[in-house]
Amino acid sequence: MRERGWLNWAMHLGFYLLLAASASRLVSRHGMDPQTVASLAVCGLLAVVYAVGVVLWGDLGRGRLVWLGAVIAVWLVLVVLAPSFSWCAVPLLFLCLRLLRPRGFVVATAALTLVVIAAQLKIAQEVDPSLILAPIGVATMTAVIFWELQRESAARQRLIDDLISARGTLADSRHRTGVLEERERLAREIHDTLAQGLTSMGILLQAADRMWAADPERAHAHVRRAATAAAENLDEARRFVRDLQPSGLEGVPLPEALARLCHRAGHDTGPAVRFRQEGEGYPLEPDVQAALLRVAQGALANVRDHSGAETAMVTLSYLDGEITLDVFDDGVGFAEPTPAPGRGYGLRAMRDRLAEVAGSLAVESTPGEGTAVAARVPAGGAPAAPLPVRGARAESPDAAVGGTEGR
C-alpha cells in the first residue's frame, strides 16, 4: 500500500510541535525545578527515539512495531512526569493506524485515550465532564479521519493494481493479435510468391517431361523458363525475408510491372494473357502498387490453375479518385457469382491485401462464360465502396472469363 507522504510528514511535524508546546508550557508553569529537568530529559529522549524511527523507516521492516512500542513507553513515562505531554497522543494514534491491524488499532486508541483522560484529570483543578468527553471526541474523530484516509488509499491502490493488471492483459492481447496478424501476412506472402512460383515451375517441368522425347527444343524452353521462375522466386523469397515490396515494382511503374507479369504468364503453359491500361497514369503509394500487383498475380494464378481458359485480359484503369484492376478469363466459370472469402485462400488473401489499402474486391462468374475479378482502390485513401464487376463481354469481346470455386 502506498502511503500519503505529505500526511506522514505533517504528522511528524505535528508531533514535534506538540512536544515543543508542552515543554514550553511546562517550563513557564513550573520553572527549572528538578522534576522539570527530568521531564525535559525524557522529552529529549522521546524526540530522539521518534527521529530514529522516521529516519530508518525503510530499513526497520517488522522492527517498526518494536520502535512504536518504545515510543509509546517513553511517552507514558513522560506523561507520568508531566501530564501536559498527553496531547502528543494524536500523532501516536496515526502511527498506530499505520502499523497495527484494525483490532490492535482499536485497543491502542482506547488505551491512549484513557491515558489522556487520566493526565487531564490529574492536572485539572476541578473535575469537569469535558475532561473525559473531549479526549474521547478528539480520539474518535482522529481515528475515523485517519481510518477513512487509509481506506481510500487502499481502494485507490486496488484500482491502480487493477489498471496495471488490465494494461498487462491488454498488452498480452495486443501481442497475440499482432502475432496472428503477422502469421496472416506471412501466409499471404507465401501464397502469393513461393507457392505460386513453385506451382508454375511444377507445371513447366511436367510439360517439359511430357514432350522431352517428341520435341526436345520446346522441352528445353520449358526447363529454361522453370529455371528463370526459380531464380525469380528466390529473389522474391529474399525480399520477402527483408519485407521489401515486390521485386517486379523495383525501378518500374505499376503498368510496366503488370505488363511484364502478363508477358511471363503468357509464356507459361497456361492461357495467353494480354495487358491493357486505360486512362493517364498518376503516382500511387508503394503499398497500393504492391497490393494491386499481388492481386494480379493471384488472379492469374487462379486462371492458370483452375479456369481452363485459353485467353485472359488484365486491365488497369486510372479513374478520377480511384484505380481499378480487372482480370477477365474465358474459362469454365463456376456456379456462385461471388464465392465466400473462406472458400479459397487466394481470394481471401486478395481481399485482405486490398483491405489494408482501403480497397475492395468483387468476383463475378457464370458457368461456361468465364470469370471476372475486379479490384478497386481509392487514390486518396478513402474507403472504397463495393465495386460491381463490369461484364467480360462488354469490356473485351474476345476475353471472357472463367474459373472454379477452388480459388
Domain annotation for the chain: domains and CATH numbers:
5-127 (no CATH), 270-407 (3.30.565.10)
Give the list of residues 6+ apart from residue 310 with CB closer than 8 angstroms, or none.
271, 272, 330
Sequence-ordered list of residues with C-beta below 8 angstroms from that of 21, at least 6 positions apart, any chain: none
Tell me the percentage of the chain whose pLDDT exceeds 90: 16
Q: Interior CA angle at 285 toward 282 and 286, to 5°?
A: 120
In angstroms, rounded to a whole number, what is the distance separating the alpha carbons of residues 285 and 381?
Answer: 9
Query: Quick one: which of 285, 373, 380 has its CA closest to 331?
Result: 373
Confidence of residue 314 (pLDDT cuts 50, 70, 90): very high
Burial class, 318, CB count within 10 angstroms (exposed 0-12 / middle 13-18 / buried 19+)? middle
Indicate the helix (H) or strand (E) that contains 373: strand 370-378
Q: Which helix (H) or strand (E) holds 360?
A: strand 360-366
| Alpha-carbon gap, residue 167 to 95, rounded angstroms | 34
- Given a contact cutoff of 8 angstroms between Cβ atoms, the answer to whether 331 and 372 are in contact is no
Determine the pLDDT at residue 4: 58
| 287 vs 198, residue with greater confidence | 287
Q: Can you read off the three cell numbers belonging to residue 314?
A: 488484365
**Phi, psi for residue 215 in degrees, rounded to 5:** -140, 80
pLDDT tier at 277, thresholds 50, 70, 90: very high
Q: What are phi and psi of 311, to 5 degrees?
A: -140, 160
CA-wise closest residue to 72 among 111, 39, 38, 104: 111
Residue whose cell numbers read 499505520 = 98
Q: How large is the average pLDDT for residues 315-338?
A: 85
Per DSSP, 125 falls in state: S
Nearest to 89 by CA among 111, 70, 104: 111
- Largest Cα–Cα distance in the chain? 133
- For residue 193, the 8-state DSSP code is I
Instruction: Tell me, yes or no, if the pTM score tops 0.85.
Output: no
pLDDT at 399: 33
Average pLDDT of the chain to the nearest whole number: 79
Highest averaged pLDDT of the listed ranges 109-123, 225-239, 343-357? 109-123
Tell me the C-alpha distance between 312 and 303, whole Å. Answer: 8
The C-alpha cell at 68 is 512504536
